[in-house]
Amino acid sequence: MLRKIAVRANIIYVFGLVIIFAGAIWMRVNLPPMPFSDRDTWGYLQPALSQLATGSLDPTHRGFLYPAVLGTILKIWPNFVAISVVQHGAGLIAGVFLVVAWQRMRIFLPLGRVVQPCYFLAGWLMLTVYLFSYASILYEHTIRPEAFFPLITILCILLATEVSRRILIKSSRTISYAILVVLLTVLSFANYYLKPAWGLALLVAMAPIMAIPGQVVTRKLLPLCVGFLIVLALFIVPERSFHRTVNGNSSFLARTAFCASGEIIYGVLKQDSSLPASDPLQTAAQQLLPYFEAAMQPPHRSLPFGFSRLNPDTLMYGGAMDKLRKMCHENTEELIAACFTYYWRAWFHDPLAMLRKIVLQIVYFYCPWKSVIYAQGQDFHLTARLQESLSNLQMIHNESSYSWPPYQKYKQQLQAWVDQMPNRSIPSFIVALSTLLNPLYTPIVLLSAGLALWTLLSKTSRFSGLQPSARWCLYLLSYNFAMTFTIAVVHIVAVDRYHFSQTIFSILSQSFAAIFLICAVSHLRGHSSVNAK
C-alpha cells in the first residue's frame, strides 16, 4: 500500500514538473525571436562579429569566453535568432539539472513522513521561481553572459552533490572521485571566466573536494592537476592571447576597486593635497581632486546603497579614470599599480570606512525589505526594449562588422518587430510568489544557519541524524555569501545583474534551508516523543 502511494506521489510530482516546464517554454516562445542588446553588448559582440566579418579578431575590454561562445553560435548558425534559441535552451536545461540536483541531495536529509511531501512541494516551487523569473528570462533573451551563468552554476552544484554523496555513503570507487574532481575544477573556473563576480564562490564549489577521504594522490592531487591543466589550456592561455592587443580587461578589476572605494580614496587625496608641492603624491592629488569634487556636485546619478557622496560609475565614466590613465601615460601596468596603490592606501587611511562599505553592500543583499533576491518585474515592455536594442547597437565601433549580412538582418528584424510586437508579462502569481519569498529569504537563512551550526557543534546524540543536512545547508547558503562578498570587496552589490543572476542558487539554498528547518522540528519532536515513552 505504501509503495503504491509513493509511486502515485512520484507520478504526480513528475507531472507537475512537466507542466512547469511547458509553461516556461510557452513564456519564452512568445518573446520576439531575436535577442535584445544593452549598453554592454558591444563589448561581447564586437569580437565575435569582427572575427566572422573580417577574419581578424578585434578584442574589447570584456573577457574572452562569452564572445567565443557567441562567435561559435553565429558561425554554426549565422542568424542572431540562434543566440536567443541557444540561451533560452541553456536556461531550460539549467532547470532540468536543478531538478536533478534537488533529487540527488535528498540523501542528506533524514527520512520522515513529513519530509517527502514537503520536498516535492519545494521542488515545484523552486523550479517555478527560477524558470518564470523575470530576470532569468530577460538575461536569457539578452546578449549577456548571465544567460549561461545559471547552467554552469547548477552543474557545479550537481557535481559537488555527487562528490558529497560518495563521501556520505563511503564510496571506495577512486575513478568516480577522480572524474568528478576534474569536471568540478574545470566548470568552476569556466564560471569564473564567464562571470568574474563568481569570485570566491569558485572556492565554495570546490570545497567538497577537500573532504574526499583516503588516497590523497589518486583522488585529489592528480585529478586536480589534470583539471588545472585543462583550465590552463581552455581558459588561461586563450584569455591571455585574446587580450594581447587590448589591455582593458586586465585593468578592469583594479579600476573597479579604485572607483568603488572612491569615497574613501577622496580622503586620501585630500590628505595628499596638503603635502609639500615637491611630493609626487601632492601633484597627483591636485590633478585628481577636481574630478572627484565634480562627481560630488549635482546633477549626478542616483547614489547606490551605502554611498553618501558619489557614484562609482561617475568616477569610472565621468573623467577621473581617464585622467588617471593619462597620468599613467596610457600604460596599463602603471594604471593597475596606481589603482591598487590608492585602494590599499584607502584601507590604511580609514579601515573602518572600508569595512563599512563592504558590510553595507552585504547588508543590501540580505536586507529583507530591499527585495533584491528575486526579481519582481512583470511587464517586459518589449517595444521599448527593441528600440533600446537598436540604439545600443550603434556602440559597435568596428565599422567592418556592420557589413556582415546576418548582422544587417538582425537590425532589420529588430526594426520590423518594434511596431508589431505586443507586450508580454510574467503571470501575476509568479510576481506575488517572488514578492512573498524575498522578505522570507534572510529569516530562513539566519534560522537555518544558526540551527545548522548548533547541530554541528552540539555534543548530544539527538542531533546526529541532522548533521549531514546541516553541513549541506551551510554549504548551499555559502554560495550567495561568497559571491556577494566578492562583489562587495571590489564593486557594489546594488546592480541588478549582480544579485538577480544568483537566482538559481538563491532559490535552491532557500528551499533546502526551509526543508532543513522542517526536518529539524520533525526530528526533535520525534525524539521528544521517544523519550516521553
Q: Cα–Cα distance between 334 and 316 in angstroms, integer?
A: 17
Count of CA atoms in the C-beta half-sphere (13 A) of 41: 21
H or E segment to which residue 19 belongs: helix 2-29
* pLDDT tens-place string over residues 72-102: 999 999 999 999 999 999 999 999 999 999 9
Counted residue by residue, the chain has a size of 533
* pLDDT tens-place string over residues 20-30: 999 999 999 99
| Dihedral class, residue 424 (left if φ above 0, else alpha if ψ from -120 to 50, else beta) | beta
Find the mean pLDDT for residues 12-18: 94
Q: Cα–Cα distance between 531 and 524 in angstroms, integer?
A: 10
Collapsed DSSP state (helix, strand, coil) of residue 142? strand
C-alpha cell read off for 193: 571566466
pLDDT of residue 54: 77
Nearest CA to 243 among 59, 391, 478, 422?
59
H or E segment to which residue 420 belongs: none
Supply angle C-alpha 479, 480, 481, rounded to 5: 95
**Could you give phi then psi for residue 405, rounded to 5 degrees?**
-55, -45
The burial class, CB within 10 Å (0-12 / 13-18 / 19+), for 405 is exposed
Q: Cα–Cα distance between 454 and 460 in angstroms, integer?
A: 11
- Say yes or no to pLDDT of 528 above 70: no
Q: Cα–Cα distance between 152 and 158 in angstroms, integer?
A: 10
User: How many CB atoms are closer than 10 A to CB 498?
Assistant: 23
pLDDT of residue 127: 97
Query: Rg of the chain's alpha carbons, rounded to an integer?
Result: 25
pLDDT of residue 249: 58
pLDDT of residue 397: 58
Residue identified by cell 523575470 is: 134
Q: Cα–Cα distance between 2 and 24 in angstroms, integer?
A: 33
Nearest CA to 509 among 7, 129, 9?
129
C-alpha cell read off for 40: 554592454
Amino acid identity, position 102: W
User: How many CB atoms are closer than 10 A to CB 284?
Assistant: 18
Q: Are 130 and 95 in contact (CB under 8 A)?
A: yes
User: How many CB atoms are closer than 10 A to CB 102?
Assistant: 23
Q: Cα–Cα distance between 11 and 412 in angstroms, integer?
A: 47
Q: Cα–Cα distance between 445 and 518 in angstroms, integer?
A: 13
Find the mean pLDDT for residues 264-282: 91
The 10 Å CB-count burial string (b at 16+, else e) for 198-223 is bbbbbebbbebbeebeeeeeebbebb
Q: What is the pTM of this model?
A: 0.93
Alpha-carbon separation of residue 299 from 292, 309, 318, 324 (angstroms): 14, 12, 12, 23
Amino acid identity, position 143: I
Q: Cα–Cα distance between 1 and 31 in angstroms, integer?
A: 46
Residue identified by cell 542572431 is: 80
SS3 annotation, 178-233: HHHHHHHHHHHHHHHHHCHHHCCHHHHHHHHHHCCCCCHHHHHHHHHHHHHHHHHH
- Say yes or no to pLDDT of 241 above 60: yes
Q: Are 501 and 135 in contact (CB under 8 A)?
A: yes
The percent of residues in the chain predicted with pLDDT above 70, rounded, is 93
* pLDDT tens-place string over residues 195-230: 999 999 999 999 999 988 877 778 888 999 999 999
Find the mean pLDDT for residues 131-135: 95
Nearest CA to 338 among 352, 359, 324?
324
User: How many CB atoms are closer than 10 A to CB 398?
Assistant: 16
Question: What residues does each domain of the chain span?
Answer: 248-349, 368-378+428-533
C-alpha cell read off for 17: 514538473
The burial class, CB within 10 Å (0-12 / 13-18 / 19+), for 483 is buried
Q: For residue 40, how far is the Cα from the chain centroid?
A: 16
Q: Cα–Cα distance between 379 and 141 in angstroms, integer?
A: 14
Alpha-carbon separation of residue 225 from 99, 119, 175, 221 (angstroms): 31, 38, 15, 6
H or E segment to which residue 203 belongs: helix 201-210
pLDDT of residue 365: 94
* pLDDT tens-place string over residues 436-489: 999 999 999 999 999 999 999 987 767 778 899 999 999 999 999 999 999 999
Mean pLDDT estimate for the chain: 88
Q: Cα–Cα distance between 111 and 30 in angstroms, integer?
A: 42
Q: Are 82 and 30 in contact (CB under 8 A)?
A: no
pLDDT of residue 339: 93
Q: For residue 55, how far is the Cα from the chain centroid?
A: 32
Amino acid identity, position 413: Q
pLDDT of residue 400: 59
Q: Are 476 and 513 in contact (CB under 8 A)?
A: yes
Question: Picking from 61-75, 304-318, 336-350, which range would have the lowest pLDDT averaged per residue?
Answer: 304-318
pLDDT of residue 526: 63
C-alpha cell read off for 96: 532540468
Find the mean pLDDT for residues 96-110: 95
pLDDT of residue 59: 74
**Could you give phi then psi for residue 142, rounded to 5 degrees?**
-120, 145
C-alpha cell read off for 71: 562567435
Nearest CA to 356 among 399, 323, 393, 307?
307
- Say yes or no to pLDDT of 363 above 90: yes
* pLDDT tens-place string over residues 393-446: 876 655 556 678 899 899 888 988 887 778 888 999 999 999 999 999 999 999
- Say yes or no to pLDDT of 360 above 80: yes
Q: Cα–Cα distance between 248 and 260 in angstroms, integer?
A: 17
